[in-house]
């Protein structure tokens, strides 16, 4: 069976649906829909040199690759390549073909260091090692069954703190952007990220098809957001935490628990049955928060790196 690799057709809904299907099969703990994938392609930043790829066998999409430069990093020359193969179609060479095409594209775009997330399973780790990638930091996927979870009771907000949803900021979401940028800057990770393009944030975060503004909960002090728990939903009962962050001046007050708990209660009331989140393995505070809610670790990914040249 011959496997071929080709570029996606951004205007073809069937490509977006196939891309999302493979992503769900390879990473069940991550939300993915055809509409979301198409939106991501349409709003990729030009500086990212994004080039999503598909691997096909007998006309069926069996693998995908997300390929881009880390344009939000202050350090130049960093590329990201994440390869996903449908578990039912592994060992056909699709992963190697996708990786080769991705590396060639990123090298031509000026990348000299490539990062890739790899599931912490023997076959995946061996594949990364064979292709010159070395493991670095790790992260966990966690799941919570909202149909049976004994969520903590809704908490009363501390004096001076008001709970709102992102929908309350529809007229002017810039304060949420500013808080997102501040908390993203000190998030644990191999590659630093700086959010400084408000227009791009509006297109890729605020208008993202998975963002659920009614479930995204925000703690407000003196009219300004100081903590938030971003909610994503796929319309099929699955809820994902996009990010939970707290302004540095307001940490240590339990606001992360407050907003996340409120969001989870809203999610269950809205009919969501499963909740997913991800944590850097070194982010002990958020891991503790998620264990407090009853989340269980379902999978582990290890970030791998390869230096080109």
Partnered with residue 243 across adjacent β-strands are 230
93 Cβ contact partners less than 8 Å away, ≥ 6 residues apart: 3
**Mean pLDDT confidence for 1-20:** 95
Q: For residue 280, give the H/E element and its range.
A: strand 274-280
What are the angstrom distances between the C-alpha of 293 and each of 60, 187, 217, 287, 288? 40, 21, 16, 10, 9
The DSSP line for 74-126 is SSSSEEEEEEEE-GGG-SSSHHHHHHHHHHHHHHHTT-SEEEEEEESSHHHHH
pLDDT in tens, 250-265: 999 999 999 999 999 9
Residue 60 in tokens: 């069926």
pTM above 0.95, yes or no: no
**Mean pLDDT confidence for 15-37:** 97
pLDDT in tens, 141-196: 999 999 999 999 998 899 999 999 999 999 999 999 999 999 987 765 555 556 78
Quote the mean pLDDT of the chain: 94
Q: Residue 2 has what pLDDT?
A: 92
Q: Residue 190 has what pLDDT?
A: 58
Q: Residue 304 has what pLDDT?
A: 98
**Mean pLDDT confidence for 221-249:** 95
**Mean pLDDT confidence for 17-23:** 98
Architecture in CATH of 144-299:
3-Layer(aba) Sandwich (3.40)
Confidence of residue 113 (pLDDT cuts 50, 70, 90): very high
Whole-angstrom Cα distance, residue 120 to residue 270?
33
Q: Which parts of 78-187 are beta strand (E)?
A: 78-85, 113-119, 134-145, 161-165
Q: Residue 309 has what pLDDT?
A: 75
Domain definitions of the chain by residue range: 3-111, 144-299
Confidence of residue 96 (pLDDT cuts 50, 70, 90): very high
Same fold, 3-111 and 144-299: yes
**Mean pLDDT confidence for 227-231:** 97
Q: Residue 301 has what pLDDT?
A: 97
Q: Residue 47 has what pLDDT?
A: 94
**Shortest CA distance to 31 belongs to which of 276, 204, 202?**
276
CATH class for the region spanning 3-111: alpha beta
Whole-angstrom Cα distance, residue 244 to residue 260?
7
């Amino acid at each position: 069976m011959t496997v071929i690799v080709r570029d996606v057709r951004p205007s073809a809904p069937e490509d977006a649906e196939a891309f999302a299907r493979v992503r769900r099969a390879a990473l069940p703990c991550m939300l993915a829909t055809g509409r979301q994938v198409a939106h991501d392609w349409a709003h990729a930043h030009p500086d990212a040199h994004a080039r999503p790829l598909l691997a096909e066998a007998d006309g069926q999409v069996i693998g995908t690759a997300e390929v881009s430069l880390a344009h939000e990093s202050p350090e130049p020359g960093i590329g990201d390549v994440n390869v996903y193969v449908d578990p039912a179609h592994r060992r056909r060479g699709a992963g190697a073909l996708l990786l080769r095409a991705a590396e060639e594209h990123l090298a031509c775009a000026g990348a000299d260091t490539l990062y890739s997330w790899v599931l912490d399973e023997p076959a995946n780790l061996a594949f990364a090692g064979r292709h010159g990638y070395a493991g670095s930091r790790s992260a966990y996927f966690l799941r919570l069954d909202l149909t049976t979870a004994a969520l903590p009771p809704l908490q009363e907000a501390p004096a001076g703190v008001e709970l709102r949803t992102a929908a309350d900021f529809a007229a002017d979401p810039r304060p949420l952007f500013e808080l997102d940028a501040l908390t993203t800057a000190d998030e644990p990770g191999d590659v630093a990220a700086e959010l400084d393009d408000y227009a791009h944030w509006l297109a890729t975060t605020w208008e993202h098809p998975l963002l659920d503004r009614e479930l995204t909960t925000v703690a407000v002090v003196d009219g300004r957001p100081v903590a938030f728990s971003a909610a994503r939903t796929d319309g099929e009962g699955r809820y994902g935490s996009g990010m939970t962050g707290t302004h540095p001046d307001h940490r240590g007050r339990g606001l992360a628990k407050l907003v996340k708990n409120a969001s989870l209660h809203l999610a269950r009331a809205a009919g969501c049955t499963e909740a997913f989140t991800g944590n850097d393995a070194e982010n002990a505070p958020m891991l503790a928060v998620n264990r407090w809610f009853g989340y269980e670790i379902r999978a582990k990914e290890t970030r791998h790196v390869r230096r080109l040249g």
